[in-house]
Amino acid sequence: MMAAPNMPAPNEKETPGTTASSVSSFSTSGHEQQVAVPWLLASAVTATSISVNDRWYYYLSNSAAKRLPHYQYRGADLSLLYKYVLSPFAAWCVDTLTPTWVAPNAITFFGLSWMILSYCVIWNWCPGLYEANTDVSTTSEDQYYVPRVIFLLNGCAMLIYQTLDNMDGKQARKTGTSSPLGLLFDHGCDALNLILGSANWIAAMALIPGNAGDLLGDVYNGNNIQSKSLLSHFLGGDAILACVLIFCPMIAFYISTWEQYYTGTLILPPFNGPSEGLVLGASLSIVSFFMGPMFWQDTSLADGAIATLGSFFGDDLTSFLTSMHGRVRNMDLIVLLAIVSLVQEVVLKTSSVVRKYGLQTLRTTSPHLVLVASTLAMVTFDSTIFLRNPRTMLHLISGLFTEQTTQLMMDHMVEEEYEVGQRWCMIPHVFLAVYIMTGLSSMQIVDTALLVYTSGLWVYLAFKISVQIWEICDVLGIYCFDIVTVHPKKSVGFRDEIVGTTVAGKKTN
């Protein structure tokens, strides 16, 4: 879930790293050192000047490298919760608890590390996502126990992540180190965090990402609530519901980035994912800790509402509500809320952008639409693919989504066109979906292809992300996780001054 980066126009300040005392050491250590050291410095400065000024970048074009330092972030969070609770608390943490030498990007990554920790812990106990569902554990041969405390950890991790994500921009303003890198880094961590949160929510609600009969075979008696859920029946099974929980925050995130790409402004509505969404998600996990994950699989909330509302309506509506008794799970209400919120945001944002910039703007949404459509096709035509490869599917979707959104944000910052045709890593995903849709696919081939594809994708992403961060740091003359050490690019002019004055025989004071 994307948090609004609280950063003004880029204003990367050079942190003093070379003091006057270090300058005078060149001129007070004897005549011989005054001659020898400047010659060494002159060689270093020449080499540095060539490598910095005449650098050829792999991902950044020359025009992009020129525009990047001038990028200015524009945005606002209209959430009342953010304005009166989350933002003041984050500001207090920055002003009271955070040293000035801590880099904003380090705060962002520290927050993400909490979500990674929570994801790994839940992965250990719920590798298939469904292990907290007692309908499975009681009918299978192996009794499996999932401790509730792992969901409390997830709820706390989400709140910590939210707080630290709000702190990074405030720390950047406090230390005068706001930069386009901070925006992209924050955006990339938010994109990666979406799959971590969604996967943990699925596990916390004991959702089986597929038909229970496919999972348990003849052992399963088919009498659990999964087969009775109206929403599951309408959408095509719980595997589709799992996809809904995964893609709803992703689509909302992509549409917000897409809107910012055209308008140059990121405006988060009064009810948004980074503020209210994360709080509700954390509350969901905390409820699973106190009530148990199977609370979300029963129908107590809807049944109670039906019993209360039935007395206020006529016979026809009362009869309709009564027919829904026992067929709307508590989890279904969460899914419906996610769908309604997504539809509202997508309709409002797309209509606004299309009215201002034309229908051609929809072209840049095609990579994400292809990702969603091809994944749904896989799950629809292979009902057990999520049961067989839950984590591989999650990691594949996350990798493709992260590549799309970070590139869209990068192109927005450097004012370049988002190349839809350059999303090459999507091609195997589409071919795999088509192969599954033919009905001739082999489970072994599909599972092997998924594993190889996902592994290769993340190797590529690791290379791309690391190179892009290095290139941005080189252009801006900063470090990603260090705001104390002076970057060589920013110290070149300073060294030139030292070398010039000493070689000329003038004593530097």
Three-class DSSP labels, 346-386: HHHHHHHHHHHHCHHHHHHHHHHHHHHHHHHHHHHHCCCHH
Q: Is residue 29 part of a domain?
A: no
Q: Quickly state the pLDDT bin for 141 (edges 50, 70, 90).
A: low
Question: Can you tell me the mean pLDDT for 455-484?
Answer: 96
Domain assignment present for residue 13? The answer is no
Helix extents (H) in 292-324: 300-309, 315-323
Does residue 396 lie within any of the structural domains? yes
Provide the 3-class DSSP secondary structure of residue 64. Answer: helix
Indicate if the pLDDT at residue 268 is higher than 70: yes
The pLDDT of residue 13 is 35
- Encode pLDDT of 163-204 as tens digits: 999 999 999 999 999 999 999 999 999 999 999 999 999 999
**Structural domain tally of the chain?**
1
- pLDDT confidence of residue 32: 34
User: Per DSSP, which regions of 234-285 are E strands?
Assistant: 266-268
Kindly report the pTM of this predicted structure.
0.84
How sure is the predictor about 60, in pLDDT bands with cuts at 50, 70 and 90? very high
* pLDDT category of residue 322 using cuts at 50, 70 and 90: confident
SS3 state at 425? helix
pLDDT score, position 55: 63
Q: For 133-177, give the DSSP string.
A: -HHHHHHSSS-----THHHHHHHHHHHHHHHHHHHHHHHHHHHT-
- Print the domain residue range for 141: 67-476
Amino acid at 236: G
Whether 15 is covered by a domain: the verdict is no
Terminal Cα distance for the chain, rounded? 53
Percentage of the residues of the chain whose pLDDT score is greater than 70: 80
Most confident of 12-16, 366-370, 440-444: 366-370
User: Computed over its alpha carbons, how large is the radius of gyration of the chain?
Assistant: 27
Residue 41 in any domain: the answer is no
Mark out the alpha helices in 205-237 (DSSP H runs).
212-216, 230-235
- In this predicted structure, what is the pLDDT of residue 46? 35
What residue type is assigned to position 330 of the chain? N
Residue 379, domain member (yes or no)? yes
Question: Does residue 395 form part of some domain?
Answer: yes
Average pLDDT over residues 367-387: 94
Q: Is residue 499 part of a domain?
A: no
Question: Of 51, 75, 55, 73, nearest to 64 (Cα)?
Answer: 55
Q: Are 432 and 210 in contact (CB under 8 A)?
A: no
Cβ contact 259:352 at 8 Å = yes
Long-range CB contacts for residues 141-145, cutoff 8 Å, separation at least 24: 141/219
The predicted-structure confidence for 436-450, as pLDDT tens digits, reads as follows 999 888 999 999 999
